[in-house]
Amino acid sequence: MNPRAESSRAARERRQPARAEHLESQWSRLHAGDREPWPEEPAIAALAKKQAGFGAWLQTHGNPRALARELRHAWLEFHQGQFRKASARARDLGPLGACVANKAAAVETLYARDSQRVLALLSTAIERGEQAVEMLPQYPNTHYTLALVLGRYSQRISILKALAAGLAGRVRTHLEKTVALESHHAEAHVALGLYHAEIVNKLGALAAAVTYGASGEKALEHFRRAVRLAPSAPIVRVEYANGLLLIDADRYRAEARELYEQAAACEPADAMERADVERARRGLP
């Protein structure tokens, strides 16, 4: 191996959260996009008192200290790129675990080719997300990660089929609930931007506006806000670029290319961001 390449890879790996104690120091950077709180006993205990469904689950399934510890391990595995392992660990961790498991499932199924397996995984994730929302209805990321897997499922079956089945409306509902609960949720703003862009792309501007209230202008508003909220996250720029090409590829090609270049130049903070940077490099038009 080229010594310079090996040195560069070693440097990147040193910047990844290698152990649970490293994770806390990097948490705010890693979760700038989704605003997920650091899993700790006092916060979980307070959440259980505020939201009765979660409190009832916690009484029969564990205690705040043990749950916080396991959640930290699940998130560590997620950030290390062990998505299947993170999802398996998080499945028994209630609605907070569903946020980890569903985000991992969304990443794991992004490039998978076995459509039947992917749809089965996403169906399970949707059910898990619905249960999480029921137990933690005022927690932004139960809504966001449910919207995320609903969106992945919709993309797999086609946006038009998703619209006909009412899935796209459910995606929008949970994304709008996410930003209502946490207005600084950059990833939800990106997803809302893509929602508008995909409908405009499939139906045309007039039908999208009349039927679903979707528009290219609203997409751009969400994308621009996401960039302001999470300027270091490559995924924000990658999806912004993708959205522009959906709205009007000819008009926005140069701007999309610039966004891809910016994303490709980002310094990844974890395994998912490394994949996003690679997506940007492959997607350069």
Assess whether 119 and 46 both reside in one domain: yes
In a domain, 10, yes or no: no
Q: Is the pLDDT of residue 4 over 70?
A: no
In the structure, what pLDDT confidence band is assigned to residue 113 with cuts at 50, 70 and 90? confident
Rounded average pLDDT over 108-125: 90
pLDDT, tens digit, for every residue of 258-277? 999 999 999 999 999 999 99
In the structure, what pLDDT confidence band is assigned to residue 188 with cuts at 50, 70 and 90? very high
207, 208, 210, 213: CA torsion to nearest 10: 180
How many domains would you assign to the chain? 2
In the structure, what pLDDT confidence band is assigned to residue 18 with cuts at 50, 70 and 90? low
Q: Is the pLDDT of residue 38 over 90?
A: yes
Rounded average pLDDT over 200-214: 95
pLDDT (0 to 100) of residue 26: 94
Are 274 and 268 in contact by the 8 Å Cβ rule? The answer is yes
Assess whether 90 and 137 both reside in one domain: yes
Lowest mean pLDDT among 12-16, 181-185, 240-244: 12-16
Name the residue range of residue 130's domain: 40-182
Are 80 and 92 in contact by the 8 Å Cβ rule? The answer is no
Rounded average pLDDT over 30-43: 97
Assess whether 225 and 144 both reside in one domain: no
Q: Is the pLDDT of residue 245 over 80?
A: yes
In a domain, 11, yes or no: no
pLDDT (0 to 100) of residue 233: 95
In a domain, 3, yes or no: no
Assess whether 173 and 217 both reside in one domain: no
Assess whether 170 and 221 both reside in one domain: no
Assess whether 175 and 216 both reside in one domain: no
Assess whether 48 and 146 both reside in one domain: yes
pLDDT (0 to 100) of residue 268: 94
Assess whether 203 and 158 both reside in one domain: no
CA gyration radius, the chain: 19
H helices present in the chain, as ranges: 3-15, 20-30, 41-50, 52-61, 64-79, 83-90, 94-108, 115-135, 140-157, 159-165, 167-181, 186-203, 205-212, 216-229, 234-264, 271-283
104: CATH: 1.25.40
Q: Is the pLDDT of residue 1 over 90?
A: no
Assess whether 225 and 93 both reside in one domain: no
pLDDT (0 to 100) of residue 230: 96
Rounded average pLDDT over 61-88: 96
Q: What is the mean pLDDT of the chain?
A: 91
Residue that finishes a domain, picked among 182, 205, 237: 182
In a domain, 35, yes or no: no
Tell me how crowded residue 217 is: count the other CB atoms within 10 A of its CB.
Answer: 12
pLDDT (0 to 100) of residue 110: 83
Assess whether 215 and 175 both reside in one domain: no
Q: Which residue has the tokens 């994949």?
A: 275
Assess whether 168 and 223 both reside in one domain: no
State pTM to two decimals. 0.90
In a domain, 19, yes or no: no
In a domain, 30, yes or no: no
In a domain, 7, yes or no: no
pLDDT (0 to 100) of residue 114: 85
Rounded average pLDDT over 95-117: 92
pLDDT, tens digit, for every residue of 121-158? 999 999 999 999 999 999 999 999 999 999 999 989 98
Assess whether 160 and 262 both reside in one domain: no
Distance (Å, whole) CA 93 – CA 172: 26
Q: Which residues have C-beta within 8 Å of that of residue 266, sequence separation ≥ 6?
A: 232, 233, 234, 237, 273, 276, 277, 280
Residue that finishes a domain, picked among 153, 182, 211: 182
In a domain, 234, yes or no: yes
Residue that finishes a domain, picked among 149, 182, 215: 182
Q: Is the pLDDT of residue 10 over 50?
A: no
> When comparing pLDDT for 150 and 6, which is higher?
150
